[in-house]
Chains A and B, each alone.
Chain A
Amino acid sequence: MKIELMDRITLEDDTKYIVANTLEYNNKIYYLLVNDEDDTDIMIAYLKNMELLSIEDVDEYKKILLKFNTDKILKNMDINDFLN
């Protein structure tokens, strides 16, 4: 199972998350997920045994959040590209 940027993941409870960024760190690939319907719901998770494990510990969460390279997304996605 390969999860990529911009994929939409549906969980068992039918919540849908969009993959907003990815990060390879400590031999794991972390995904920054944004709930498709609830904008306040942002989740960092990684894959283990075909399951997503979300980070709930705040220190861990912050640590990983800091590692995400947001500029790579921001620079590549020029607003004008999809407005024009």
Chain B
Amino acid sequence: MLMDDLIKIFKRNDVDFDIFKNIDSDDCKDKYNNLIYFFSVYIMNLKSKKLDRREMKAYDDILNYNKDALLMYLNLCLDILDNQVVDNSALEKEDFSGITDLNGNFDLTTLDGKKIVLKQIRNAFAHKSGKIFFFEDSGVKKVRIDNKKWFSIQCNISDINRIFKNIVLVNNENNLQKLLLETINCVEKGNYQMISEDAAILVLLNLLMCYNKESIFDRFMLTQTSFIDASKFEIESTEYWSCSESRMRQLFFDVFNIHFHSNKDKELYEKEWKSIVDIDCNSIVHSINYTYNTSNMPYDIFSNRHIPIPIFMNILRNANCHGRIIMQGDYFIFYDQEKRKNSNPNLYMKINKNDLLNFIFSDYFTESLFTTIDDHQNEYSMGLYLLEQAESANNLASYIDTYICRLPNLTEFEVIRYMYDNNKFSSYLIEYPGQTEHFLNYKLKDGTKLITLLASFEERSENEFNYLNINGKKNNLLKNKWMKIGLNFYYEYITDFIEVLKGRKKYKSYYEFFNLYYAFLRNLKTINSNIKFTKIDELSEEEKQIIQSGSEELRDEFIDNDVLLGKSNYRSQLLLEVGMQQSQESELDKIIFVCSLNKKNVKQDDTEPKEKRHTIKNIEKHSTLSHVYVDSSKANLKISSEDKIRILKIFAVNLGIRLFNAAWMSVNAKEGLIPPELGIAIYSTSVLICNFAIFKTWSNLVNKLKEIRKYEEIINDYSEQVEGEYGDENRINGSNNIRR
């Protein structure tokens, strides 16, 4: 992006760079974001030598004026980059007397006190709940930082910067740290020309990913990708696919009850399997690449694909939160987990620096900088954000209309072009494949067909879009099948988990359990085939080390009470029970984990009633199943569609309880000697927590099932057509030969 363009955008949006004159913390954080973005773009422009002396002087002045704030940001980046960079002995010697603790909660002469303050400064910066407010007092630039109710400090910004600078533990092998330290030096001297381009990228990545108040990431996710939910996308691991493939294959044959009748059949099955794997595992990415404009999508060199933006954003965020970012020559590599040197991350992508730059400086982010979520929601498309709430969005015309309203200065043609360039149609069709027909037939106001216009953008024939119809339906069927496989896989996975719990005496392995438990917690939210089943004996020393450090890391996190905080009474009660009443918000996984790590539990309230009376108002008999008892055979289960959800719930809650019970029995078998890592049953110190653990398991399942049901409905709408119209095609790929 050129500086001129950026300045124009800033002007249009009334952005000023006086970060020391703010209305409130939100305003300040906005200005902070703008300043950092400005800084990064400026560095890039300096490198490409597109600026004249006069311009450079003006920009240098802006940065010099805000230098303290800029340095604070860079110091914080350095700290966020790696928690290990703090030199404790230096910290101990550091003088904190310049920091005023407004609530008087800390002893700033002790190491612990200092550590807490640094941590809270970092959190205030990185988390949404934190507040940062820069101001000028008698010519001195100061900052006030608040986080949580009990943390509030005020000091000269230069004091904070001095402290951060003095306590950095320099690691010569850490290139990113080196880059940032060099950058800090250059900024201090006002020598912006010496700052490297890579440092500017790094700074931007940090900006994009931090959990700032209404961070750019959040804005982007909410405003620019309204119709894509990143959590619904999965990219298969580039590392573990081969080991899970055979497992999935097994499941596939099991699920469809496939028997081989001849070698010919066998070949056809193989083909079928291949088509499922090829199309379904990679379906979304594939269909986008094949059909739509991928120029805005970052290209992953590992998997040789363009990656849809939300997935990419997720990878970035994960890399920044709990993974690693590595620079290798002209490439950036993002790992989604583990910071340790010898870690074995299970998901990563590699992107060319220029690709990354194009992406960062695309419309996506510049637009996100100036559109707040509130503005966006109020002004343009009330309630259209969350797919779940956006019934009306399930209609291509209203979707296009949303953009016409959002971009009032553009003509209909220009809006369509914008939507095409930014992959809005592909996003939409992925989310609403049922709208494919509508998409193909959609006409603009002047009567032109939408696909004619789209085809003209790339000088393609509009016939090219027609196969979408076939592929859309076919993909849907395959997708549905895949979901079923996934569900079964999930079930299998839990069964395995239980087996390991039961067989714990045999393995007696801390690592074995933890490996599974760790994977379990991490993968519970999605049906993920990336779960690695490894026996303890097969683990290398390095892997054991990784698991142990993962465990310690999580435990430390809890000991530090470093959990995100929330508000409901229910959660408060839970937190009280696990001894974390200081916190206001929670993450379900972490709560369960903290309990499992034998964190001190607060005693039960003795006044808790042993039984509670409930008067029954009505019993609604199950419409078709009142006669079905637990012993009835499968054949008796003729279930009407309105009862499906009810059954799904029952199915899921029983699955959750089964897991819970297995864990409990396993712990009990140890006759009172409960190892902390097997303290899964300890979290049942109250009915609430019992339910919580069960809920954790089954709610995910129910969601998955609901999703399946959604696809089921879509398929029902036109599955007959597919059978009729494309039967021949099915025959070619052998699917008709499969006995089910």
- Chain A residues with a Cβ under 8 A of chain B: 1, 3-12, 14, 18-22, 32, 34, 36, 39-42, 45, 50-58, 60-62, 65-66, 68-74, 76-83
Q: A65-B661, A79-B488 are in contact. Are A52 and B614 (CB under 8 A)?
A: yes
Complex partner residue of B650 from A9, A20, A83, CB under 8 angstroms: A20
A4 to B626, CA, bound (A): 7
Which residues of A have CB within 8 Å of B261? none
Bound form: Cα–Cα A56–B655 in Å: 22
Chain B residues with CB below 8 A from A11, complex form? 614-617
Provide the residues of chain B in CB contact with A65, threshold 8 Å. Answer: 657, 660-661, 690
Give B609's nearest chain A residue, CB to CB.
Answer: A56
Evaluate whether A80 and B484 lie within 8 angstroms (CB atoms) in the complex, with A11-B615, A40-B695, A65-B690 already known: yes
Chain B residues lying within 8 Å of A71, measured Cβ to Cβ, are 658
Distance A32 CA – B650 CA, assembled complex (angstroms): 9
Q: Is the CB of B686 within 8 A of A34?
A: no
Is B181 an interface residue when CB atoms closer than 8 A count as contact?
Answer: no
Contact B634 A9, beta carbon cutoff 8 Å: no
- Interface check B673, CB cutoff 8 A: no
Considering the complex, which residues of chain B in the window 42-73 have a beta carbon less than 8 Å from any beta carbon of chain A?
A: none
Chain A residues within an 8 Å CB radius of B694: 42
Could you show 12 A-B contacts with beta carbons less than 8 Å apart? A1-B619, A6-B622, A10-B618, A12-B616, A20-B650, A21-B650, A21-B657, A39-B698, A40-B692, A52-B614, A70-B657, A82-B644
Contact of B646 with A6 in the complex, beta carbons under 8 Å: yes
Contact with A58, one of B616, B637, B644, B690 (Cβ below 8 angstroms): B690
B192 to chain A, nearest CB (A): 53
Enumerate chain B residues within 8 angstroms of A4, measured Cβ to Cβ.
621-622, 626, 629
Contact with A along B684-707 (1 / 0, CB 8 A): 111100111011001100100100
Q: Is there contact, CB below 8 Å, between A34 and B653?
A: yes
- How far apart are the CA atoms of A68 and B167 in the complex, in Å? 57
The distance in angstroms between the C-alpha atoms of A50 and B617, with both chains bound, is 10
16 further A-B contacts with Cβ under 8 Å, apart from A39-B649, A66-B661, are A3-B619, A4-B626, A7-B620, A10-B618, A11-B614, A22-B630, A32-B653, A39-B698, A50-B616, A51-B614, A55-B610, A57-B687, A65-B661, A70-B654, A70-B657, A80-B255
CA separation between A4 and B639, bound complex, in Å? 16
Q: Is B643 an interface residue (CB 8 A)?
A: yes
Q: Within 8 Å of chain A (Cβ to Cβ): is B487?
A: yes
Contact residues on B (Cβ < 8 Å of other chain), bracket? 35 or more
Cβ of B651: which chain A residues have Cβ within 8 Å of it? Answer: 73-74, 77, 79
Q: Which of B274-321 contact A (CB under 8 A)?
A: none
Note all chain A residues with C-beta closer than 8 A to B646: 6, 8, 18
| B647 is an interface residue with CB less than 8 A from chain A | yes
How far, in Å, is A60 (CB) from chain B's closest CB?
Answer: 7
- B 621-643 to A, binary, CB cutoff 8 A, 1 in contact else 0: 11001101111111001010001
Whether B653 contacts A1 by the Cβ 8 Å rule is no
Query: Residues of B contacting A70 with CB < 8 Å?
Result: 654-655, 657-658, 661
Q: Separation in Å of the B21 CB from the closest CB of chain A?
A: 46
Q: Write the nearest CB–CB distance from A51 to chain B, whole angstroms.
A: 5
B613:A10 contact, CB within 8 angstroms: no
The 0/1 profile, CB within 8 Å of A marked 1, for residues 163-200 of chain B is 00000000000000000000000000000000000000
Which 9 residue pairs are nearest across A and B when measured between Cβ atoms? A6-B622, A70-B658, A70-B654, A12-B615, A10-B618, A52-B614, A8-B620, A73-B654, A20-B650
Q: CB distance B626 to A9 under 8 Å?
A: no
Known: A9-B618, A55-B611, A79-B484. A39 touches B657 (CB 8 A): no
